[in-house]
Structure 1
């Protein structure tokens, strides 16, 4: 999602080049940063400045190239402090990979099968007898998305602390016509992942938060990564605040581009973004309610893609499952069993009001890339984390 309206003194894009192996942000001599890090820093700083982003982070980990951590701007417009490796933020749809991982673990344990119809677990899903678990994971069920419904967006503006139940969210999806028959297309729909979250709770006889902690976070030693419980609207300290121009409803209606006059006001400091950090994440739940840090998200995506969370056979099945989203363009991003492939990097992206992020890992070159910003889109509608990550990928994987 994204937004429009008031922007202000969007902090000067101060940048710190740091050693990514440190847990706190220290600014050493620029000479200590790898050459590629120093070379791409001006480009990234210009992008951050051009998108009027309050704060942003880029992390690359590579045994061959050396590690690079770049922090731009501020974690909060009230604080004027740079974002550190251990600052928490909302990882949004990167959460989908976690829900998908637990589902695949349950498949390994024989508690369900990828070709099971969802009607075995929920009897209220439209055409549920023909929608499989695999189609939910791969976004090929045809179930409509609820995220861009005007009434849903308006509720997030008017009652940001509202606690949504999964059934309330799904009712919004089920009330719309399906996009296509199961398996005959691709539609990125949060309803798919919410359904998978309910199935996990049914099969584990516990909460989804507990399943994530026991099966992923605990085993990887991620103590600042969590699935926010439905009643928790805030982010634990310390964290980066999230911002947007205007309202969620305006963004959903297509108002994610500032006018030239508004951009001028923003750069002059007379138009300021809204702080939307504390919109209750239950509106995304299993699809988007995750919280993590730059450091822990990097560790997580390497484990996700490197095979630390699944059996060798299941991991290979997952990596082999990716198919181009645009069947007419084999070079388009490819989506599989709750995982995406961008070029040589496997991972995902995340977008919620206030945050936009990318996580990716290349198992061939052992390269990890994390990029995120505490504003979802720039004045021209560009998704901030996507733009920053693409710039990094272009540096690491130059065109022949």
Structure 2
């Protein structure tokens, strides 16, 4: 075998060897990277690529101050660089440096940048189907969503949808189940949501609106000021680690759970299809593997850091409360009404959601039986 050909094939094998999952798009052909310690990406083997150098720009929807969610893009970019011996460089840009926080999809679609790191539900105004790529009210948890994306039909269905926007999508992070947010006043009944001005990520605002709330879609870096000034009455973001950094407990002390609108919020890498198609095959494998590593790494960071941060928030005066069952039931009813309307009016939504819902139904027969019962027992031990 010719030496160059051998190196090329061996390099591709290293990239594939770094993967643990298959990104399904028609056929399962793209490998995803393995889990590793959460704090930082390990050194990755370089791949022989014939010396081609590529420079991309990635625009993020998340402020640099959040090492968890913004950091997911930086972990990804470093992995790509390491695996190509520095030949493939991706510069990461915070909101406002290239485009606004919620301008990522337009920038990627138009080729203004090669890729972006964002949440699909920010763009539900274009098509509600975008939200399924992140989280929808009373939807799947992170583990089930990852299963649907990688081993169900999720990736292929969403790839088909995103092709209409010149985008190739990759899961690239998950926060796990989120908290229910920060409030200036207690939420005892559904009536307490009436007239409530709440910063709420994207699509879930449709459900809050049915309950009489007034949803606000505000970028992460602007939430604290809006809450402090009284522009909004409540906000949600992710969970204790990020919330502590953002300081919401200082201006809205009532901290509720669970975040029924985000049982497992997926963050995504969106790549312009022309930029993707121009990549050598080795680089495509590397991008796929690096995105999958960043996907796993992000939730590992949240799971490791949230318990410690929650203790600190409580020590600093946060008042932790569970949403009353009456509030949860009213929200579920409103959710069902919204989905019924979309099934009638949005063909894209109906096609993707019908498979999503069927997969979720099976998952919630399995997960409470296995993980749920085990977790309940272990929690009761108070180790």
Work out whether the TM-score is over 0.5: no
Which is bigger in relative contact order (C-alpha 8 A, separation at least 6)?
1
- TM-score, structure 2 normalization: 0.26
